[in-house]
Structure 1
Amino acid sequence: MTPYRELHPEPITVENFAPYGQLITPQDDGKPFDAQEAQLDLNQGQPRFYLMRLQHRGDRFHQITRHSRCTQCLGSLQGQDWFLAVAPPSDGPRPDATRLKAFHIPGTCFVKLHRGTWHAGPYFEAETMDFYNLELTDTNVTDHLSYDYRENEGIEFAIAPTRP
């Protein structure tokens, strides 16, 4: 069995998520656009906004992915909480594992990942969950670099949600 390192999810805040992206929360209608809203970079292709249904995949991962050509937005559709592991954007082919973190994301907001942010997830406890996803139409074909921790470093990670 491959050894694993537990990641204990932090409650997401604007400040602690800033190296990875933006936390986007509800705003009053009619408020002028400002830095609190998603700062999108989708100019390298046609945007794709879609709903994805994910099956429960446990809490372990060994691969992490980044998209260098665009930002990406993710949020749960039914208001359920979820988890995401992230490492800051990098120019090289490998994420900085010393800065790998997991976040507990409430279903009342969404996240915008900076271009190049490494990410694994979404993870959740339900059998299935629906998410909305904003990226480019070809993101998963032409802009999908993955790093395999198990293959390259002989380790996996487990998101260990804090139980009440």
Structure 2
Amino acid sequence: MADALILPLTPACADALAPFGTIIGRASGAPEIPIDYYRGAVRVSVPAPFVSESAVDITLAAMDPRPLEVRYMERHFQHTQAFIPLGGKPFVAVMAPPGEGDLPDLSAARAFLFNGSAGFQMHIGTWHEFPFALQPDTDLIVILSRQTGADLRAKDPATEEAHGPDLDKKDIAARTGRLIRVDLPANLSQPSE
């Protein structure tokens, strides 16, 4: 049985997320591009420049709540993956900063609460688990490298770990003896299973 590492929830904001990535939304703090075709009715900014060494897919993740436990974490070497909510539903993302080691620094892992008004884009190498829905039928747009999909499909059937040119997905619980859990406040409780 893995020892539990309990992470408190941190509200997602530009400063808190900076070691891991960038907020995608009005709260990003990105300056507006000085282009005015619509007399101020349309304002455009670039909160995060997307980087990818291969073709990119825009996918839709339709999510339902699942236990707030992180057994696997992954990182990407060739792209800056992004998650953008649709419908304004809250979700949780667990991340650890990029590092040189073979495993994430679990002492630096954080759990972020996104209220559904903004998404995020991770720095290359940021360790993460796929976001957790807090409500049924939570939709996220996921922008990712097509190489990641190929790397995930080639997972090891015994360990369910996956490795490839863009992906390093590891069973953190098996490798460290620690299972990460998110401390969800009662006012955010997930529906009963």
Does the 8 A contact of 2:86 with 2:140 survive in 1?
yes
> Partner letter of residue 156 of structure 1?
L
**2:171 is aligned with 1:151:** no
- Secondary structure of the residue that 1:80 maps to in structure 2? coil
Work out which structure has the larger RCO, using CA pairs closer than 8 Å and 6 or more positions apart in sequence: 1
The range that moved more, 154-163 or 96-105, is 154-163
Q: Counterparts of 1:129-144 in structure 2 under 5 Å?
A: 129-140=138-149, 141=151, 142=164, 143-144=166-167
Alpha-carbon distance, 1:54 to partner = 2.5
> Partner letter of residue 22 of structure 1?
T
Q: Name structure 1 gaps, 5 residues minimum.
A: none
Instruction: Output the CA distance in 2 between the equivalents of 1:112 and 1:150.
Output: 25
Alpha-carbon distance, 1:160 to partner = 1.4
Instruction: Output the CA distance in 2 between the equivalents of 1:98 and 1:119.
Output: 14
> Partner letter of residue 133 of structure 1?
V
Q: Counterpart of 2:48?
A: 38
From 43, 59, 66, give the equivalent of 2:68: 59
Alpha-carbon distance, 1:161 to partner = 1.7
**2:13 is aligned with 1:13:** yes
Instruction: Output the CA distance in 2 between the equivalents of 1:32 and 1:109.
Output: 15
Give the superposed CA RMSD.
Answer: 1.9
> For residues 102-158 of structure 1, what are the alpha-carbon distances to aligned partners after superposition, in whole Å with 9 as ceiling and x for unaligned?
000121111010111000131122234221001111213242212322211211011
Aligned-residue identity in percent: 22
- Secondary structure of the residue that 2:66 maps to in structure 1? coil
Q: Counterparts of 1:65-144 in structure 2 under 5 Å?
A: 65-140=74-149, 141=151, 142=164, 143-144=166-167
Instruction: Output the CA distance in 2 between the equivalents of 1:144 and 1:129.
Output: 25
Instruction: Output the CA distance in 2 between the equivalents of 1:125 and 1:33.
Output: 29
Does the 8 A contact of 1:93 with 1:147 survive in 2?
no
Instruction: Output the CA distance in 2 between the equivalents of 1:118 and 1:12.
Output: 16
Q: Which has the larger radius of gyration?
A: 2
Instruction: Output the CA distance in 1 between the equivalents of 2:18 and 2:60.
Output: 25
User: How many residues are paired up?
Assistant: 161
> Partner letter of residue 13 of structure 1?
C
Q: Counterpart of 2:155?
A: none
Instruction: Output the CA distance in 2 between the equivalents of 1:133 and 1:100.
Output: 21
Alpha-carbon distance, 1:48 to partner = 0.9
